[in-house]
Amino acid sequence: MQLQDVLYSQGFGTRRVCAGLIQQGLVQVHAGGDGGSPRSVTDAAQDVDPRGLRVRVQGVDWPYHEKAYLMLHKPAGTECSQKPSTYPSIYTLLPSPLRMRPQKGAVQGVQAVGRLDQDTTGMLLLTDDGKFIHRMSSPRHHVPKVYEVTVKHPLDESQVMRLLAGVVLDDDPKPVRAAACEAHGSHQLSLTLTEGKYHQVKRMLAAVGNRVEGLHRSRIGGLALPDDLLPGQWRWLGADDLALMAG
């Protein structure tokens, strides 16, 4: 694979821009099996093995990923939209190459796998793999998502039982059930859902006579949000992480 094509696939600009970066000596290459220092390359057409490859572009280290899989700790007061209406976009928390990764010949960047409301915090997945987005989002695959919920009014056993039995939302006569629900004290509970509807957690709690005051997604599948990933921070997902989400 030519080095300029590697940089293009990682979102560093058009092929012409990437070739220019290389020819200006702004790119260094560190091959997967090379334990030494990165070496400068000025030939944009030089063939490199992308497996395990790391590049340094204008002083910034970047690992090669054929497909990008990310976890973001979404902070409150952000929107999961490329064109936010009121609050800053979560995409501004990502470095430029992730927002510029090409897909099918067009610049699209990574996309959020589902959305969280502007005031909801917690785990958000992003990728440029359309099949992964479909698999994780489709209700047919029943990927469990765990939410930590703070409610306004004291919880009682009947509310928990109704959430497990199923509640009817105003736009769907079919009851929506929680896969799991456990109260933690009088005003907090963990709620596990396997499908996603608009404002689903808030509407389910409203249906049992309560109100959501705080909402945080802590887990998707078998993958939990790490304690050391602070709000606004992101990290790459590896093969082990993806296996945990596949169940």
DSSP 113-128: SS---TT-EEEEEEES
The structure's pTM equals 0.92
CATH code of the domain containing 28 = 3.10.290.10
Instruction: Indicate whether 86 and 122 sit together in one domain.
Output: yes
Residue that finishes a domain, picked among 47, 63, 79: 63
Q: What is the pLDDT of residue 162?
A: 96
Instruction: Give residue 234's domain range.
Output: 69-139+223-245
Task: Match 């200006």 to its residue by tokens.
Answer: 24
More confident residue, 159 or 104: 159
For residue 238, what are its two tokens? 């590896």
Instruction: Indicate whether 152 and 194 sit together in one domain.
Output: yes
Residue that finishes a domain, picked among 63, 85, 114: 63
Instruction: Indicate whether 181 and 150 sit together in one domain.
Output: yes
> Sorting pLDDT into bands at 50, 70 and 90, what band is 208?
very high
Region 231-236: mean pLDDT is 98
Instruction: Indicate whether 22 and 52 sit together in one domain.
Output: yes
For residue 146, what are its two tokens? 């765990």
Q: What is the pLDDT of residue 103?
A: 80
Q: Is 219 helix (H, G, I), strand (E, B) or coil?
A: strand
Instruction: Indicate whether 134 and 93 sit together in one domain.
Output: yes
pLDDT at residue 247 above 60?
no
Within its chain, how far is the Cα of 108 from the centroid?
15
CATH code of the domain containing 75 = 3.30.70.580
CA distances from 75 to 39, 87, 93, 124, 166 (A): 38, 11, 10, 10, 30
Q: What is the pLDDT of residue 172?
A: 76
Q: What is the pLDDT of residue 29?
A: 94
Q: Is 233 helix (H, G, I), strand (E, B) or coil?
A: coil
Q: What is the pLDDT of residue 27?
A: 96
Residue that finishes a domain, picked among 48, 63, 78: 63
Q: pLDDT (tens digit, 9 = 90+) per residue, 139-197? A: 778 899 999 999 999 999 999 999 999 999 887 778 999 999 999 999 999 999 998 88
Instruction: Indicate whether 75 and 169 sit together in one domain.
Output: no
Instruction: Indicate whether 194 and 210 sit together in one domain.
Output: yes
Decide the pairing of beta strands 27-30 and 39-40: antiparallel
Instruction: Indicate whether 121 and 7 sit together in one domain.
Output: no
Task: Match 């404002």 to its residue by tokens.
Answer: 199
Instruction: Indicate whether 58 and 21 sit together in one domain.
Output: yes
Total count of domains within the chain: 3
- What amino acid positions are annotated as catalytic residues? 117
Give the count of beta carbons closer than 10 Å to the beta carbon of residue 27.
Answer: 25
Which of 73-87, 100-114, 179-193, 230-244 has the least mean pLDDT? 100-114
CA distances from 247 to 115, 126, 198 (A): 21, 18, 25
Instruction: Indicate whether 159 and 37 sit together in one domain.
Output: no
Q: pLDDT (tens digit, 9 = 90+) per residue, 22-81? A: 999 999 998 765 556 788 999 999 999 999 899 999 999 999 999 999 999 999 999 999
Q: What is the pLDDT of residue 174?
A: 86
Cα–Cα distance for residue pair 107/99, rounded to 1 Å: 8
Cα–Cα distance for residue pair 186/159, rounded to 1 Å: 12
More confident residue, 208 or 139: 208
